Structure 1
Amino acid sequence: TTEGGWFVLEEARHRGNDPELIKVGCDMIDWAFARGWDKENGGMLYYTDVYNKPVQEYWHNMKFWWPHDEALIAMTLAYKLTGEERYAIRHDMVRNWAFSHFQDAQHGDWFGYLNKDGSRANTLKGSLWKSFFHHPRAMWCCAHYCGAI
C-alpha cells in the first residue's frame, strides 16, 4: 500500500535518510500506485486483487477518500527523499483528481465515497469511519514535508 510505503519512508527519514529503507518504501509506493491507479477513470481504486481475479468485496471498484490522502503523503515524502520527478508527477495526478472529485467546494471538506467513474456514491462526509483525521493529517504532512510548517 502507499500508506505502508509512507511509513517505511518515515522510518528511513527518522534514521537519517537510510538508503535501504528509502528503496523499500519507494518500491512499495511504486507497486501500490501501479496496481491502484485507475488508468481508465483516474483516482486510486480502493481494492484490487493481486492476480486480477474477481473479488468478493463489493467496494472493490469504489474510490475512498483516505487512500488518496495517504497517496498524497507518500508521494510527497518519496519526492523529498529521492528528488525523483515521478513522485511529484504522481502527487499532482492524485491531488488534481482527488480535489476535483472529492471536494465539496460549496461547504468544505471531502465527500467520502465515490464510484469507479468518480461520481459521488453518496453525500456522506462523516461517519464512524470517515472522520476529521485522514484529510487534515494529509494536508499537514504534505506541508510539513515541503517545509511550509
Structure 2
Amino acid sequence: MLSPRRLAATAALLAALTAGVLALLVTAGLITFGAAAVTVAFLVTLAALAFLVLIVRRLDGKAHRIDLRIKKYEAELARTTTALKNIETRLDLLVQAVEDSAARRADDLGAILASLGEDRVNAMARAREVEELRAEVRALARDSV
C-alpha cells in the first residue's frame, strides 16, 4: 500500500494531468465547458471519497493495533492476578504455619517453665529435708559428745 505522501503526490500528478487534458479538450472544442466542469466535480468527489476511505482504513488499523495491545495487557493482567492469588495462598499457608509454630513454642515454653517450677518446688522440699537431716546430725553429734 502506498504511503499517504506518495499517494498524495500521485493524486496531485494525476489531477494536474487530468486538468491539462480537460483544458485541451475544451480548447479543441471536443467537449463543452459544462461537461468539463461536471467531470472535474466528479473527479474531486471521487478523490475526496478515496481520501476518506484512506483515513478510515488508517483509523481502523490503529484501532486494531490498540485492540491487540489491550488484549495483550489483559492477558498480562490475568497472569499477574493468578500469580498474586498463588502468592496469597502461599502467604496464608505460611501464616498458618507460623501461628502453629508459635503455638507449639508457647506450649513448649509452658512445659519448660512448669518443669522448672516443679524442679524448684522439689529442690525446696529437698533443701528442707537436707536441712532437717543436718539438724538431726548436729543434734546427734551434740548428744554423743
> Is TM (by shorter chain) over 0.5?
no
Name the structure where helix makes up a greater proportion of residues.
2
Structure label with greater radius of gyration:
2
Bin of the TM-score, shorter chain as denominator length: under 0.3
If the length of structure 1 is used for normalisation, what is the TM-score?
0.23
Instruction: Give the TM-score of the pair, scaled to structure 2.
Output: 0.23
Kindly indicate whether structure 1 or structure 2 has the higher relative contact order, using CA contacts under 8 Å at least 6 residues apart. 1
